Chains A and B, each alone.
Chain A
Amino acid sequence: MVPSHSYSRAAVATTAAAALLSLAACSGSAVSSAAGDAGAPLKIGVVLPLTGPVSETGKALQRGFELGVRKVNDSGGVNGKKVEYVVTDDAGDPATSTQLARKLIQQDRVSMLFGTITGDTAEAVSKVANDSEVPFGTAILGDNERCFRYAWGFGESTRQILLPSVPELIRKHGKRVAIAGSDYNYPHFYAGIVKEVAKSAGGTIVAEEYSPLGQTDWQSVITRLKDAKPDVLLSMVVGADAVAFSKQGQQFGLFRSELGYDGAPLDADYYPALSDLVNGRTHIVRWTDRLDHAESKKFVTDYRAAYKWTQPIPEVAGNAYFGVQFFLAAAGKAGRNDPKAINSEIGRMRFDSPLGKGTYFEPANHLLQADMLETTIGPGGAYAVTRNLGQITDTVAKQGCP
């Protein structure tokens, strides 16, 4: 059958729109420059969820990243050239992340990749980065069980959070530890490390509960947790579920003041929804906008001015801001835009920033070894630093890295 005239016109319009969209995705950057080309500016490919359920976190990372690049460019760029970047939206979908990472490397010829929020998208980009031998940096907290030679995590690792927090919670509140989590890979991994750290601190696991994502009724989980009479509750219930779980837990009297409580719902991202529940509690972080450090304060001022931001600045923005500067310092040391050379420099790099003096990546797991901060959550979402815990090292080797 011969397609009708209107149908072909629609097809032409669709093709034209797709072409326009793909051009728009290039964010005005030149497509001709090749990675490693002598004299070409260094180009970074950014893969982020700018739409979808985790888009707010993605946008926070983008803001931190952009200010980090701007700071480097204001000081002369890398190898005498201003750094360029291309931002793409994966909507939090790993299949899209894979496609975009490939496109950024093959078409846009980027020398490094940055971004992603969820673990599955980070792993998707890590695989592409590894295959193409292009370094990839992510800024979100938490780590996966596998390590990739070309992937580097600027967010705090699970052990870096739990090594200081769990023994302190057990010491303050008691030895009976309960774990709650959303039912996917990372919360199970998190629970494994909670068990390991709690056991070495003399604690006992009295309950372990997981619930599929998208749960609306938490009564049965909360009842089981209450029945176990825990002294400490560690929660890796994430996303909107973290809010529903916390709200319903509060209604059922789970979060009494004697209960030690830490985990994802205490992150700054959830503060606007859970302020009453988390005020006064302590939370371990890598970076907070209340950090008393000149460079950090400058970033906070710039962020608030640039984005007219009045709320607490998400931790991921700080990690991205200092993380991209670490990456670009490594590129400067490499002296050229060759991704392999930059990757080697990242592995050797020692970098001073508000995240710590001489921060570096542990070769056995590619996790940033940096300071950790104990904060106390105050009204208005002030994560005030009560203790600088210094560098909390996580040297546990992971499969995939030498």
Chain B
Amino acid sequence: MDVLLAIVGQFGLYGLLTLGVAIIFAALRVVNLAQGDLAMTGAYVVATVTGAAFGWRVLLALVLCVLPLMVIERALLRRPLADGLATMLVTWGVGMALRQGAELLFTSTSRSVADPVGGTVELLGTPYPAYRLVAGLVAVVVIGAVLLVTYRTGWGLTLRAVADNPTMAALLGTDPRRMRIAAFVAGGLLAVLAGALYSPLLAVNPTMGFGLLVPMFFALLFSRPGALGTAVAAAFLVAALAVLLRTWLTDTLADVLFYIVVIGTAALRSRSHVRRLLSWSRRILTPARP
């Protein structure tokens, strides 16, 4: 039971980050390298604003980040958008600026955030830290809600249309600029939420976002652009693999094996016959359009 709960907890963190980066990738065709640093920003808002309840601090982190995210997209990402590599480097620069800013403002000493919900809860005879469970469940609910919006609303349809074929979507009347800014803010806010929500479980410091990038990128590697469901499924698989390996093996060995499995799978997936096999299986599983 505790292994399952651990997977849910890790999936919540990786899922929010991956879903966020996948939304940005869908609309902008760029991997947001500042995603981890946006999570750090959310964690710092929660750690430094005192006197308000935890929930309000999380909300404040989200509200405070909306405008900066809009400015970043408008001022920094719009111009070099034609060149994907240049845009990615801009996001790297944004991340660096956030890290340096945090170090200047708060120093590099780690901070901690008190648990908003203390104690443990008993689940099928297994005592589990209450806040870990709350954080995992809130994250899962948010991920579910975002997927629902993506697959059941007009905005989601437009996002998927832009992800599939931006030129065609523009010709059909979609304003790509509005879609890009909305996607960047939504994706960035998911990272801010991840950092804020999980701050009581982590050490809050300027470089904390860096360590979150690797599992997020691995998850992104196994997802299809624009298909946000695959990004969430990949985040779940990455979280499950990491937790299971660490449960069965020592942490160091588990880490080594984790990288071997993930990189090995990615290499295997890139082989043409495996890609063909995957493509056929998708056709078999997807019902034919009427």
User: Is A56 part of the binding interface, using a Cβ–Cβ cutoff of 8 Å?
Assistant: yes
B201 touches A183 (CB 8 A): no
User: Is B87 part of the binding interface, using a Cβ–Cβ cutoff of 8 Å?
Assistant: no
Q: How far is the CA of A285 from the CA of B132 in the complex (A)?
A: 34
Complex contacts, B108 vs chain A, CB 8 Å: 52-56
User: Is B164 part of the binding interface, using a Cβ–Cβ cutoff of 8 Å?
Assistant: no
Q: How far is the CA of A37 from the CA of B180 in the complex (A)?
A: 67
Chain A 200-242 residues near chain B, CB threshold 8 A = 209-212, 214-217, 219-221, 223, 239-242
Complex contacts, A240 vs chain B, CB 8 Å: 110, 203, 205, 207-208
User: Is A244 part of the binding interface, using a Cβ–Cβ cutoff of 8 Å?
Assistant: yes
Give the shortest distance, in Å, between A233 (CB) and chain B (any CB): 16
User: Is B2 part of the binding interface, using a Cβ–Cβ cutoff of 8 Å?
Assistant: yes
Given contacts A53-B207, A183-B251, A240-B208, contact A270 B110 (CB under 8 A): yes
A247 touches B129 (CB 8 A): no
Q: How far is the CA of A356 from the CA of B129 in the complex (A)?
A: 46
User: Is B6 part of the binding interface, using a Cβ–Cβ cutoff of 8 Å?
Assistant: yes
Complex contacts, B115 vs chain A, CB 8 Å: 251
Nearest residue (CB) in B for A248 is: B201
A215 touches B131 (CB 8 A): no
Q: How far is the CA of A243 from the CA of B252 in the complex (A)?
A: 19
Given contacts A215-B251, A240-B203, A251-B115, contact A220 B6 (CB under 8 A): yes
Q: How far is the CA of A55 from the CA of B10 in the complex (A)?
A: 30
A220 touches B111 (CB 8 A): no
Nearest residue (CB) in B for A277 is: B112
**Which of A217, A223, A252, A276 is the most central at the interface, judged by chain B CB atoms within 10 Å of its CB?**
A217
Which of B107, B202, B246 is A220 in contact with, Cβ under 8 Å? Answer: B246
Q: How far is the CA of A269 from the CA of B9 in the complex (A)?
A: 29
User: Is A382 part of the binding interface, using a Cβ–Cβ cutoff of 8 Å?
Assistant: no
Which of A55, A220, A251 is B131 in contact with, Cβ under 8 Å? Answer: A251
Question: How many residues on the B side are at the interface (Cβ–Cβ under 8 A)?
Answer: 38
Which of A209, A216, A219 is B202 in contact with, Cβ under 8 Å? Answer: A216
Complex contacts, A212 vs chain B, CB 8 Å: 251-252, 255
Chain B 111-127 residues near chain A, CB threshold 8 A = 111-112, 114-115, 120, 127
A247 touches B252 (CB 8 A): no
Nearest residue (CB) in A for B251 is: A211
Complex contacts, A28 vs chain B, CB 8 Å: none
Q: How far is the CA of A251 from the CA of B212 in the complex (A)?
A: 21
User: Is B286 part of the binding interface, using a Cβ–Cβ cutoff of 8 Å?
Assistant: no
Which of A52, A221, A241, A269 is B109 in contact with, Cβ under 8 Å? Answer: A269
Give the shortest distance, in Å, between A50 (CB) and chain B (any CB): 11
Q: How far is the CA of A183 from the CA of B211 in the complex (A)?
A: 16
Q: How far is the CA of A248 from the CA of B203 in the complex (A)?
A: 10
User: Is A274 part of the binding interface, using a Cβ–Cβ cutoff of 8 Å?
Assistant: yes
Complex contacts, A242 vs chain B, CB 8 Å: 110, 203
A209 touches B251 (CB 8 A): yes
User: Is A273 part of the binding interface, using a Cβ–Cβ cutoff of 8 Å?
Assistant: yes
A251 touches B201 (CB 8 A): yes
Give the shortest distance, in Å, between A244 (CB) and chain B (any CB): 5
A219 touches B2 (CB 8 A): yes
Given contacts A217-B243, A220-B251, A253-B120, contact A272 B111 (CB under 8 A): yes
User: Is B42 part of the binding interface, using a Cβ–Cβ cutoff of 8 Å?
Assistant: no
Which of A221, A247, A253, A276 is B251 in contact with, Cβ under 8 Å? Answer: A221
Give the shortest distance, in Å, between B88 (CB) and chain A (any CB): 22
Give the shortest distance, in Å, between A220 (CB) and chain B (any CB): 4
User: Is B23 part of the binding interface, using a Cβ–Cβ cutoff of 8 Å?
Assistant: no
Q: How far is the CA of A51 from the CA of B96 in the complex (A)?
A: 14
Q: How far is the CA of A342 from the CA of B61 in the complex (A)?
A: 56
Q: 1/0 contact trace for B157-173 toward A, CB 8 Å?
A: 00000000000000000
B9 touches A217 (CB 8 A): yes
User: Is B250 part of the binding interface, using a Cβ–Cβ cutoff of 8 Å?
Assistant: yes
Nearest residue (CB) in B for A213 is: B211
Given contacts A183-B252, A220-B243, contact A247 B200 (CB under 8 A): yes
B201 touches A273 (CB 8 A): no
**Which of A53, A209, A240, A269 is the most central at the interface, judged by chain B CB atoms within 10 Å of its CB?**
A240
User: Is B247 part of the binding interface, using a Cβ–Cβ cutoff of 8 Å?
Assistant: yes
4 more contacts with CB within 8 A, not counting A53-B205, A210-B251, are A53-B108, A220-B6, A240-B208, A247-B200
Q: Can you list 28 residue pairs at the A/B interface with Cβ under 8 Å?
A: A53-B108, A54-B108, A55-B107, A183-B252, A210-B250, A210-B252, A211-B251, A211-B252, A216-B211, A217-B242, A220-B251, A220-B254, A221-B246, A221-B251, A240-B203, A240-B205, A243-B110, A247-B112, A247-B201, A247-B203, A248-B201, A251-B131, A251-B201, A269-B109, A272-B111, A273-B110, A273-B203, A274-B112
Instruction: Enumerate chain A interface residues (CB-CB to B < 8 A).
Output: 51-56, 183, 209-212, 214-217, 219-221, 223, 239-244, 247-248, 251-253, 269-270, 272-274, 276
